[in-house]
Amino acid sequence: MTRRATIWGLVAAACLAGPAGAAERVVIGSKGFTEGIILGEILAATVRHAGGEPVHRKALGGTQIVFQALERGEIDCYVEYTGTLAAEILRDDAAAAPEQLGAALAARGIAAGAELGFDNTYGLAMKRALAERLGIRTIGDLVARADEPAIAALEFAFSDEFVRRADGWPAVRAAYGLRQTPRVVDHALAYKGIDAGSIQVTDLYATDPEPRLHDLVLLEDDRRAFREYRALILTRADLHERAPAVAAALAELAGTIDGPTMAGMNAAVRVDKQGEAEVATAFLRERVGWDVAPVAADGFRRLVHDILRATGQHLLLVLVSLAAAVVVGVPAGILAERHPAAGRWILGAAGIIQTIPSMAVLVFMVPLLGLGWRPAALALFLYSLLPIVRGTATGLASIPGHLREAALALGLTPWERLRLVELPMASRSILAGIKTAAVINVGTATIGGLIGAGGYGEAILSGIRLADAARLMEGAIPAALLAIGLERGFDRLERWLVPAGLRTAGR
Amino acid sequence: MIVVSDVSKSFAGQRVLAPTNLEVPRGRTTVLIGPSGCGKSTLLRIIVGLITPDSGGVTIDGAPMTAATALELRRRIGYVIQDGGLFPHLSGRDNVTLLARRLGRDPDWIRRRVEELADLVRLPQAALDRPPAALSGGQRQRLGIMRALALDPPVVLLDEPLGALDPLVRYDLQEDLRRIFRELAKTVVLVTHDMGEAGFFGDEIVLLGGGTIVQRGTLDALIHSPADDSVRRFILAHRLPGMTAGDHR
């Protein structure tokens, strides 16, 4: 058999084996909070149960980023809330009704799938004992008996987001005519305050585990002031053609998760520190009757593997963005020093870029560049510009005038003066700018965890989300070591790159 | 021969140099002297093309100094400034050979040339491979002179080259420089504010004041027949031995 025949044989075999052997790859997205990730794991386990090959791009970020990823086909499905869809995506309150929702989403190539069965709306909560003693069951009770001293003395304290969002405190205050002035406190601190008795009424999500933990009771929203946030599965419109078995299995999840079940799963992760994947498979086994094997997790080897993978991803982000910033920033610095008028614009622009929050850069860039390392690297590139441009411009500007003239009088061309005299003399300052950018990048690259670029950010963000110090350290310690290592590396590089005469002169 | 014709220069409306004419004969040393702000350094920097004059022009051996010719002409001019003007990131040797290497001169030729020049300016070999910061002021200036002479230019311009050196070092360098200029028959323009140094070097001394040439001639002529009161006062200010204010009254 000739070599060509062998190759054709292999190609033919691959074509025949391909469709039959390969499980359909289904990419699942999730939003960056515990409930979103648990639901993502439930979808992933469901895909596996239906014979598909799930890829879970965890904790991708906020609504905009995840929804756009679905719109662009970078993910195939995720769980969204009806109220959020209406308010943040469709910007139409009427659209929360199932028929309108389906039509509006279909126009975007997205199918509204099964509703899971719970409504994660906002709620107002009080200590159970206090509510029972005062005889308060509904929000309406607070208004009807507002004149009683015991009721008037109740302190309200809400999270900043709840106070600002139109569908939060403003909605409930208008619907009931509440006259209290709430204090704004951090959500986690509000629970401490309510335990200590310094506040009595706070806001929460209906499926938060805290009511059980702190023995709170949710006040009934008797006037339906809060919007509905029914959880539903969104999929690409073509998923049922591409993977009919997966689509059918996802449909079977309809109505399987009621409010208390969801709150229980949130508590299992947030309070009992169980893994999201284990909670998800346990749910499917006990409530749906599917025995989906959890993905094997072998403690130490898994940890080493995860850290190595994150290191690779993190380094890719830092080095790619840094290299691009050097290529752009050094010439920009030269230009800025040569032409002071242009320099003011260049340094001004680099400075303004520095003030843009990384989340905002991602929200702008994900629609253009998609998910993954590209938008994160672009954000890091932008943040790296200022120190590099400034280091270059400052280094060049600090060259004494008589030495510039000496180079000119020697008969060197402009390019030779730049390359042989000015850049070497500015090398310390340029390298210092690059070093600063590199070290800052190691820290900032944690944003990669928000958009599926990986890196140490994944561990750090999930550590913060779950208040899990060990998980946080899994990202924070390697990140710190990498920053130190890079700094050392740059010191080496400086010894090698910066001419000896400048190093002795600089002392 | 350097010819300066009707060259003038103002900075920010302030006249630094009135229209000035000057010929510097080939193979001779002309010293520009005068009080601070008299325009002597400006004139030198116009000759080497670091400053573009508002009017008039400069020719060097017949070739006009313009933006287009400056690069070529500067390679035929050695330029020496105070403290040598060495680039701190290069060793002494690399400072001296920078332009020769850029112009692609033969490495063997360059090596021999450095040895010749080090002998000429009496610089110890060990000083060649140190960075400028590790050298003495006198050694730095000797390297600066080596760099200026590296391509054997016919013209050498020096802007207060010995101003920052202590008297003994300066004395030795003055002796060496005069010997070098005479041996090599260079066309030299040297700027100084020191009358003794001017007299030591100058075949002709050009005294500037307030942006114009006030008097030119030998040291003797300046001392014994000053053109006007300003020349007399400038000379007196140097407190040359045996001179008092009464000498010329």
Task: Say whether both B24 and B97 belong to one domain.
Answer: no
**B positions 79-138 inside 8 Å of A (CB):** 79, 81-82, 85-91, 98-99, 102, 131-134
Query: Closest-CA residue in chain B for A413?
Result: B71
Q: Judge: domain A122-218, CATH 2.40.30.10.
A: no
CB contact under 8 A, B89 and A402: no
Residues B229 and B157 in one domain: yes
Nearest-CA residue of chain B relative to A421? B87
Give A409-418 contacts, CB < 8 A, sequence gap 24+: A409/B48, A409/B49, A409/B50, A409/B74, A409/B77, A409/B79, A410/B74, A410/B79, A410/B98, A410/B99, A410/B147, A411/B71, A411/B72, A411/B74, A411/B75, A411/B77, A411/B99, A412/B98, A412/B99, A412/B102, A413/B71, A416/B102, A418/A334
Q: Measured between alpha carbons, how far is A33 from A492 in angstroms, rounded to an integer?
A: 42
Q: Does domain A299-505 have CATH number 1.10.3720.10?
A: yes
**In a mutagenesis test of the B interface, which of A410, A502, A503 is the best target, namely the one with the most B β-carbons within 10 Å?**
A410
Judgement on whether residues B116 and B212 belong to the same structural domain of the protein: no
CATH number of B58's domain: 3.40.50.300
CATH number for the domain running over A20-118+228-288 = 3.40.190.10
A interface test, pick of B42, B47, B86, B89 with most A CB neighbours within 10 Å: B89
Q: How far is A28 from chain B (nearest CA, A)?
A: 57
In this structure, the answer to whether residues B204 and B236 fall within a common structural domain is yes
Given a cut of 70, whether residue A17 has pLDDT beyond it is no
Residues of chain A with CATH 3.40.190.120: 122-218
Separation of alpha carbons A225 and A175, rounded Å:
6
Query: Tens digit of pLDDT for each residue in B18-46?
Result: 999 999 999 999 999 988 888 899 999 99
CB A126 within 8 A of CB A219: yes
Angle at CA A122, nearest 5°, toward A117 and A124? 125
Return the pLDDT at B24: 92
pLDDT tens per residue, range A100-119: 888 888 888 999 989 999 99
- Interchain contact, A406 vs B81, CB within 8 Å: yes
Are B144 and B157 part of one and the same domain?
A: no
Asked if residue B6 and residue B39 are part of one domain, the reply reads yes
In angstroms, the separation between the Cα of residue A492 and the nearest Cα of chain B is 18
- Cβ–Cβ gap B74/A500 under 8 Å: no
pLDDT 10s digits, B95-117:
999 999 999 999 999 999 999 99
Strand B2-11 and strand A110-119: the pairing is unpaired
Same domain, B147 and B104: yes
Residue B86 distance to chain A (closest CA, Å): 7
Inter-chain CB pairs, A–B, below 8 Å: 75
Tokens for B65, please give them: 């100094």
User: Which structural domain range is residue B127 located in?
Assistant: 88-152
- Whether residue A504 is predicted with pLDDT greater than 60 in this model: the reply is no
Q: Which residue of B has its CA nearest to A499?
A: B89
- One domain, residues B144 and B159: no
Residue B208 lies in a domain: yes
Assign A298 a pLDDT band (cuts: 50, 70, 90): low
Among B170, B44, B60, CA closest to A405: B44
Let me know whether B165 and B221 are in one domain.
yes
Q: Are residues B167 and B55 part of one domain?
A: yes
Is B83 inside any structural domain?
no
Which residue, of B152, B184, B202, is where some domain finishes?
A: B152
Contact residues, chain B, for A429 at CB < 8 Å: none
Show Cβ contacts of residue A392 under 8 Å, excluding neighbours closer than 6 positions: A329, A330, A332, A333, A334, A336, A337, A426, A429, A430, A433
Picking from A332, A367, A338, A318, the residue whose alpha carbon sits closest to that of residue A490 is: A318
Nearest CA in chain A to B74: A411
Identify all chain B residues contacting A424, using CB atoms and an 8 Å cutoff. Answer: 87, 89-90
Please indicate whether, in this complex, the C-beta atoms of B87 and A406 are within 8 angstroms of each other: yes
CATH 1.10.3720.10 domain range(s) in chain A: 299-505
Closest residue in chain B to residue A407, using alpha carbons only: B87
Q: Give this complex's ipTM.
A: 0.89
Chain A neighbors of B147, CB-CB under 8 A:
410
How many structural domains comprise chain B? 2
Q: Per-residue pLDDT for A422 more than 80?
A: yes
Residue with tokens 């140099």: B17
pLDDT at A156 over 60: yes
Q: Name the minimum distance, in Å, from the CA of B107 to any CA of chain A.
A: 18
CA distance A483 to B23: 64
Least confident of A167-181, A455-469, B108-122: A455-469
Does B43 reside within a domain?
yes
Distance in Å, alpha carbon of B199 to nearest chain A alpha carbon: 27
Residue A89 · residue A228 · CB < 8 Å: no
To the nearest whole Å, the CA of B134 is away from the closest chain A CA by 8
Determine if residue A421 is left, alpha or beta; phi over 0 gives left, psi from -120 to 50 gives alpha, anything else beta.
alpha
